[in-house]
Amino acid sequence: MAEVVCPNCRARLLSPLGHTGPSYRCPFCGTTVQVSPAATADNVSIPSPEPQQPAAVDPGHAVSVAVPPPGRGVPTRLIVYVLLSVAALCVVFAVLVLLAGNVKRAADRALAMNHMKQIGLACNSYQDAYKFLPTPKVVSPEGDPVDLSWRVTILPYIEEFPLFKRFSQTSGWDSPDNKEFLEMMPAIYADPLRQQEPEGPKDFQKTHLQTTHFQMFTGPGTAFPDNDKVARGRGLHDNDFLVGEAARDVPWTKPADMVVQPDQPLPLASGTVLIALADGSVREVDRDRISDEALRWYLRPNEGTPPPLD
């Protein structure tokens, strides 16, 4: 295209693309404007781009190929954040499991203490009625010992009088008359702190609903070396041990209890154990902090100041 000036209005004009004549009219004032032939579209050639030929490659030289950079992928900072979050969740889960375990143990201990408290009070109620504590073996109306546990004797004092009336007071715990009651152990004799321990008597196929860890202290040097009648305040002091958590469980109707031997460790459970005193109160005793010799003071009639239990 050629640029010309209108002689009338002095407007700067461009000849239209493809115009072939020697003149054309000014679009502003209508004056005929002369156009130089050299500026016509016929004399204007627009070169077309020629395709570029690839450069020859020398076979004797390596060819360098530009490879686009790979994608960046997941940022490292995000991976670190994810790993830290997973670790934090694991810690929180472990803490929750630990807290749940502690809550369950605390609940089990409170329930076991309540059961033992009821047992101690039942023994005292029995003494109020008969003027002596329950003996390890049931005493028949004729005064003969029967192979039946004191735990059967106190059934009327733990709100189990109907079950007590069904027992034969002259037959043993494993007799045909009484054997069926093994499956009817009152919940008060269940010790949730110890009921997971599988060890038991070899002559008895037990379940956790048939056996108990709550047992009296019997044997030499205790309040019950034999099946004698003992009363609190007469041979047994208020702070003497009456019932404890044994290391091994026994059938609840069987007259089997902890037998204390002078030359052997006490048959109590390990760790912290619950003890029902003769006055009906319950104490926690840490066996790791107090020796068996000190604990024996509470098993036999003694005078003087007892060693501390704390």
**The pLDDT of residue 142 is above 90:** no
Q: At a CB cut-off of 8 Å and minimum separation 6, what does 228 contact?
A: 135
pLDDT above 90 coverage of the chain, percent: 40
Distance from C-alpha of 100 to C-alpha of 113, rounded to nearest angstrom:
20
Q: What is the DSSP letter of 22?
A: S
For the segment 22-30, the average pLDDT, to the nearest whole number, is 76
Q: Which pLDDT does position 41 carry in this prediction?
A: 43
Neighbours of 90 (CB within 10 A): 10
Residues facing 146 on adjacent strands? 138
**Tokens coding 1:** 């295209």
Q: Taking a C-beta distance cutoff of 8 angstroms, is the pair 234, 192 a contact?
A: no
Q: Which pLDDT does position 4 carry in this prediction?
A: 74
| 5-9 long-range contacts, CB within 8 A, separation 24+ | 6/31, 6/33, 7/31, 7/33
**The pLDDT of residue 202 is above 50:** no
Residue 204 pLDDT grade (very low, low, confident, very high; cuts 50, 70, 90): very low
Least confident of 186-200, 206-220, 286-300: 186-200
Q: Which pLDDT does position 121 carry in this prediction?
A: 95
Q: What is the DSSP letter of 131?
A: S
**Tokens coding 47:** 């070169």
For the segment 246-258, the average pLDDT, to the nearest whole number, is 94
Residue 18 pLDDT grade (very low, low, confident, very high; cuts 50, 70, 90): low
Tell which residue, 219, 230, 225, 309, has the closest CA to residue 273. Answer: 309
Distance from C-alpha of 8 to C-alpha of 136, rounded to nearest angstrom:
142
* CA-angle at 135, arms to 283 and 294, nearest 5°: 35
Instruction: Choose the most confident range, by mean pLDDT, from 5-14, 157-166, 297-306.
Output: 157-166
Q: At a CB cut-off of 8 Å and minimum separation 6, what does 34 contact?
A: 4, 22, 23
For the segment 256-269, the average pLDDT, to the nearest whole number, is 93
Quick: pLDDT tens for 72-103.
566 787 788 788 888 888 888 777 776 665 67
Q: What is the DSSP letter of 268?
A: B
